[in-house]
Amino acid sequence: MTSSEGVDDDKRSTLRRFAALGATAPVASLSETASADTGESDARDAISGYLSTTPGAHFSKIRDDLQLGTGETQHHLRQLEERGAIERYRDGDYKRFVPAGRFDEFEKRALGYLRRDTPRGMLIELLLSSDSTAGDLADALEVSAPTVSKYAGELEGAGLLSREDGYAVERPETVLVLVVRHADSFGDRARRLARNADQFVAYNG
């Protein structure tokens, strides 16, 4: 169903839901200079709100989740970046985006890997049980041992994992905070960790 202005109602609802979050961010002032079409400010505020809850999202995910066109997404991301509201960084083949000034380089790398299913699962399992072996991780995630080994090498190269004596998450407190703070955007495993985070932190303290 479409509205009288020709804008898909489902898309408008999605944009306004995230725009409610983005309206409290510094980028909200962009509404004053946006065109008369409220869709302009809605889209920018929606992207800002989306990235506040889903930092490290790549271009295609932002576009698809917010139901925007490719050119539309490029335009608004460029506007937000030029005004210092968001920043982009390269993560392999991906261009990822985060709110400006909120994350250091380690956190950006961590967010990139937390946005990938198997590396995220490995990091969460290791946070829950620091003595997990490669076999334990493969069983828990229902993947092959070579898959675990492959991603363990990538995580080590990114500075997120040590393999000196088994597997150990680097800066585990930082990774835990990222997972818990943005658990809703990381799926069920992260949400389960977040629900028990108080017990987990107390246990490891």
> What length does the chain have?
205
> 11 pLDDT exceeds 90?
no
CATH number at residue 38: 1.10.10.10
The strand pairing partners of 94, in sequence order, are 91
Residues 42 and 113 in one domain: no
pLDDT score at 78: 96
Residues 85 and 115 in one domain: no
- Dump pLDDT digits (tens) for 126-182: 999 999 999 999 999 999 999 999 999 999 999 999 999 899 999 999 999 999 999
Domain that holds residue 172: 106-204
* Of the residues 102, 135, 150, the one at which a domain ends: 102
The strand pairing partners of 95, in sequence order, are 90
What is the value of pTM for the model shown? Answer: 0.81
* One-letter amino acid for residue 55 of the chain: P
Question: Residue 51 and residue 80: Cα distance in Å, rounded?
Answer: 11
* Of the residues 41, 71, 102, the one at which a domain ends: 102
pLDDT score at 196: 83
Residues 96 and 149 in one domain: no
- Dump pLDDT digits (tens) for 20-55: 555 555 444 444 444 444 556 788 999 999 999 999
Q: How many CA atoms lie within 13 A of 91 on its CB side?
A: 27
Residues 127 and 179 in one domain: yes
Q: Is residue 1 part of a domain?
A: no
The rounded mean pLDDT for the chain is: 85
CA dihedral 63, 85, 30, 3 (to 10 degrees): 20
Question: How many structural domains are present in the chain?
Answer: 2
- Ranking 76-80, 96-100, 146-150, 199-203 by mean pLDDT, the lowest is 199-203
Residue 60, token pair as written in the block = 């295609």
